[in-house]
Structure 1
């Protein structure tokens, strides 16, 4: 384009035409690039998600090396690049963790590693319960799955965790009482 005042119309086409699309793994197949390509973007609004996806696509994304400080709770809990707020504060206040605006936030399901970790944790908690409590919890879980199909996964998990913790604390209280009963009977 000319620098003449008022000359805003270009008389020719673009000089350098892109023949092929940009591929961020064309010359770089390192482990870091694979890790960046597999990043799951969550707890952000649609616009911020598109921005981060663009950065990943055109090799502009730079992951964090150390956690950043959250702007709300002032703790070093921000583990995702370009986010300014931790996920806990974002969920608590219902805002995007990148732009801090109260928009519709996109949440994604946990990836395979996180899902396996959660499943193993749940199995360990179930195995620590006695058989009677375990069956009670499994019946409760199946009943809730049939009953509340419209609830989102986060609410279901919180409900199941609270029920499991309630069963666990009931079991702990019973064990504590039985320990005292045994102690009292030996004194006589």
Structure 2
């Protein structure tokens, strides 16, 4: 069943009560091994018995994530793309919102479906690298991050970056043709800024 999403469901004006009607305690299951990317955040403290995934991915990857959702919730519709939806099937639900920003698709997903969470983890999505998301930024001049860069770094990039070990980080930089200035910045970040 597909329903248009409630107005302001995902922004700060949304009330927890809106989501608590969809994500009830009876339908909640605990997801173990939560250290994967995209990270999940339990919303139980707000009486919303679900997990939030908030991440940025390449636009082409969003299409596959929507396919995963469509398949998991057994939609009869042939629609392969949506930006706002609340879907329910067999006592599991997902509230989904996406928008284009940071050189890719920003996805906000709330679900009580462990199966859906694991399928998204198995897809191994990655955010666009910083030199794609912020092509005008020179990492040599980065000091205190502010505004959109700070938001993206804290919410989109760092959860992904920290989900990898040093070897995986190095492979990512090579696979995405990281400019030398960004490679140097990440070395600096790991040695002097990152709190281990």
Please indicate the TM-score interval, normalised by the length of the shorter structure: under 0.3
Task: Report which of the two structures shows the higher radius of gyration computed on alpha carbons.
Answer: 1
Q: Which has the higher helix share?
A: 1
Q: Which has the higher strand share?
A: 2
Higher relative contact order (CA 8 A, sep 6+): 2
What is the TM-score when the length of structure 2 is the normalising length?
A: 0.26
